[in-house]
Structures are given as structure tokens and as C-alpha cells.
Chain A
Amino acid sequence: QKEVEQNSGPLSVPEGAIASLNCTYSDRGSQSFFWYRQYSGKSPELIMFIYSNGDKEDGRFTAQLNKASQYVSLLIRDSQPSDSATYLCAVITNAGKSTFGDGTTLTVKP
């Protein structure tokens, strides 16, 4: 089992729809959770971070964390073509190690 798993892609949604990206992690003691966006040919950039159970909203982005289920998600509302990218889930494990998922590629079709 991978330490961090993301839903297999690619994911395609129409413009204006909600894109849902999911991530599960194996280390129950993990404390910090991040979503990064990576455009083709560019380096990853931070979108959201979340540390507590529940939802955290920032503009069109909402991160959701459920530590009991070891699950973190990213919702993108009113998806735009500019949201088309690969989204990486990252987890800081209990040992302080940063682990990335393989990424989910999102395409938003106009």
C-alpha cells in the first residue's frame, strides 16, 4: 500500500462544474496535509493546507479532512480551464517526513 494514494485520473469536468480530487494516507499519525497544483512544465505550487478535521475554504477551493477515515479531498467549484493541471496531495507523516501522492490530472473543458 502506498503511503499516499490519489484517485486515478485523468479527471475531466466541464467548465463551471465541481471537480473533486481525493487522497488517502496510511500513517494515522499524520498531522499536516497539503494540496499542490502543477501546470505542465512548471514546478508545484501550494493551493491549500489543512491540519484539522473539517472543511477549509479559500475562494473556489475547499479542502476537506477526515482523520478518522484517513482521507483528504480538494473541491474546486466553478471549475475554469485555467484549473487544468496535475494536483498533488502531500502528507507530513508522524515521523516528520513529507510524502507526495502520484497526482491527479484534471482537465476542465470549455
Chain B
Amino acid sequence: SAVISQKPSRDICQRGTSLTIQCQVDSQVTMMFWYRQQPGQSLTLIATANQGSEATYESGFVIDKFPISRPNLTFSTLTVSNMSPEDSSIYLCSVMDASEGAKNIQYFGAGTRLSVL
């Protein structure tokens, strides 16, 4: 299984500022994802982070608001830009090995609990 380190674990931010969340994996993985989860709600996929190219965003999420980087196969960042209280949520990094013979199992980081004042 993959071990994921996600930082920060929590933060309290002011409206209008930006926060960058880091996700580091202990092995090379083919797929990295960023999710948002409101308390008591299910997972909402923000985007798939693509190594060396622009992320693939889901409907309702745009690059200007959630820029994502993935410079290599073990690291990705998600930035929440120009934050408002509506961005208060838990943000989760997830990885999957989608290579041939792999089981397509997703592993999750511990999450970043973001509160925007």
C-alpha cells in the first residue's frame, strides 16, 4: 500500500488569501486525485493531477480557483485561491496505481481541514 503524507493537517485562513496543500507519496503512482469533503457529506472529486501537464478538472471546479501542480510521480499540490467561507472543508489527496496488473486501489491522505474566516 502507498503511504501518503499530506500537509498541513489543518489551517485557519482569512478570506481572500490562498492556501497550498502538499501531498507526498512514498512510491511512484500513476494517478493522483484531489477531493473535497464537507462534514457529513460524501467525497467530491475536484481534479485529477496529471504529471507534467495540466490537471483534469471536474464540472464546477476551475484552474483559477484550484490550481494544481504535479511535477513528478510522487508529489502534488493543490492551491485554494482567493478563499471564502464556502471553501471551508476537508481536502483529501488520493493516489491510485493504475498500471497493468495493479488492483486500482485508491489510498487517501489524512486530509487537510480548512476553515476560512
Select one of A32, A43, A96 contacting B108, CB under 8 A. Answer: A43
- Asked if A66 is at the interface of the complex by the 8 Å CB criterion, the answer is no
Residues of B within 8 A of A (CB): 33, 41-43, 45, 92, 96, 98, 103-111
Cβ contact within 8 Å between B104 and A43: no
Cβ contact within 8 Å between B105 and A43: no
- When chains A and B are docked, how far (Å) is the Cα of A8 from the Cα of B54? 37
Cβ contact within 8 Å between A49 and B109: no
Most buried by A among B41, B42, B96: B42
Cβ contact within 8 Å between B106 and A43: no
Cβ contact within 8 Å between A98 and B108: no
- When chains A and B are docked, how far (Å) is the Cα of A38 from the Cα of B72? 29
- When chains A and B are docked, how far (Å) is the Cα of A102 from the Cα of B43? 7
Cβ contact within 8 Å between B42 and A43: no
Q: Looking at chain A's contact residues, is the secondary structure mostly helix, strand, loop, or mixed?
A: strand
Question: Which residues of A in the span 60-81 have a Cβ within 8 Å of any Cβ on B?
Answer: none
Interface string of A41-69 (1 = CB under 8 A from B): 01111100100000000000000000000
Chain A residues with Cβ under 8 A from B98's Cβ?
96
For the complex formed, measure the closest distance between the CB of B37 and the CB atoms of chain A, giving whole angstroms: 9
Question: Across chains A and B, which 7 residue pairs bring their CB atoms closest together, nearest first?
Answer: A43-B108, A102-B42, A32-B104, A100-B43, A43-B111, A103-B42, A44-B108
Cβ contact within 8 Å between B106 and A45: no
Chain B residues with Cβ under 8 A from A42's Cβ?
110-111
The answer to whether A43 and B109 touch (CB under 8 A), given A96-B98, A100-B43, is yes
Chain B residues with Cβ under 8 A from A46's Cβ?
105-107
Cβ contact within 8 Å between B103 and A98: no
For the complex formed, measure the closest distance between the CB of A65 and the CB atoms of chain B, giving whole angstroms: 15
Chain A residues with Cβ under 8 A from B33's Cβ?
98
Chain A residues with Cβ under 8 A from B42's Cβ?
88, 100-103
